[in-house]
Amino acid sequence: MATASADNPLKEHPAAATAVLSVVGYALVIGTFLGVVPGRVFPDLSLPQVNLLSDAIAVVNTVNVLVIAAGWRWIRRNEVRKHAAAMVTSFGLILVFLVMYLAKIGGGGTKEFVGPAFAYYPYLAMLAIHIILSIVSVPVVLYALILGITHSERELRTETPHRKVGRIAAGAWLVSLALGVVTYLLLNHVYSWEYTVTAVESVGALLAPVVGL
């Protein structure tokens, strides 16, 4: 990956940069769910538009699974440039996903799984693992990426934990994305769902008795 100058703050303080970027990402998602981010930031989406965004998100995540798998294969074959390109592309796809996801939950509604118990509980389990991995993967993915774009190949191999961190980041994100696609298929194409109020409104309704809304 690219080499940065010695006075590059990202290179000098990768952990701090990771922490700042992680907090920003978490704040955007949590703020959207809680309604802290103004609703006018997001488009007012109809059900067909929510469905279209769900489909688009699934496509992006499926492509990302293939990109990460390719990047993993390339680094095992010591094809560093291809690996670097794949990982940067993967991060770009993550950003595309984030924009669409925030738009969907901020301007659309929620779709609740409706299906038999034998499918419902595995669905919930996979969804929970997907969400937990996506949350804990954020700082690990960012740290691996920051190391990769600010250090030379020699530095990455001898002076940083990039190889170990990258393996964890790629594995966790790969599993998270794959489970996300599986739960999408179960919810949207295998079984049925019910459309409820917007995500922000539903969270607000849950919090109302607590905060006196």
- 4 vs 49, 80, 141, 161, CA distance in Å? 42, 17, 19, 17
Asked whether residue 48 is domain-assigned, the answer is: yes
The pLDDT of residue 197 = 56
Asked whether residue 119 is domain-assigned, the answer is: yes
Pick from 136, 173, 184: which is nearest to 26 by CA?
136
The pLDDT of residue 204 = 41
Which tokens belong to 5? Answer: 């100058």
- Where residue 212 falls (left for φ over 0; alpha for ψ -120 to 50; beta otherwise) is left
List the CATH number of the domain containing 70. 1.20.120
Asked whether residue 5 is domain-assigned, the answer is: no
Q: How far apart are alpha carbons 193 and 199 in whole angstroms?
A: 15
User: Do the Cβ atoms of 171 and 50 come closer than 8 Å?
Assistant: no
pLDDT averaged over every residue in the chain: 86
Asked whether residue 84 is domain-assigned, the answer is: yes
Asked whether residue 46 is domain-assigned, the answer is: yes
pLDDT in tens, 195-211: 875 544 444 433 333 33
| DSSP SS3 for 157 | helix
- 94 vs 67, 68, 139, 149, CA distance in Å? 11, 11, 13, 16
The parent domain of residue 164 ranges over: 10-211
pLDDT in tens, 106-152: 888 778 899 898 999 999 999 999 999 999 999 999 999 999 999 99
Asked whether residue 37 is domain-assigned, the answer is: yes
Q: How far apart are alpha carbons 144 and 17 in whole angstroms?
A: 12
Segment 30-48 shows an average pLDDT of 80
Asked whether residue 155 is domain-assigned, the answer is: yes
65 contact partners, CB below 8 Å, separation of at least 6? 174, 177, 178, 181
Is it the case that residue 100 has pLDDT exceeding 50? yes
The pLDDT of residue 19 = 96
More confident residue, 39 or 80: 80
Question: How many other C-beta atoms lie within 10 A of the C-beta of residue 172?
Answer: 18
- 145 vs 55, 58, 73, 100, 121, CA distance in Å? 27, 23, 17, 22, 35
Q: How far apart are alpha carbons 34 and 31 in whole angstroms?
A: 5
Q: Where are the beta strands (DSSP E) in the chain?
A: 109-114, 192-198
Question: Could you give the number of structural domains in the chain?
Answer: 1
The pLDDT of residue 180 = 94
Asked whether residue 1 is domain-assigned, the answer is: no
Q: How far apart are alpha carbons 53 and 67 in whole angstroms?
A: 21
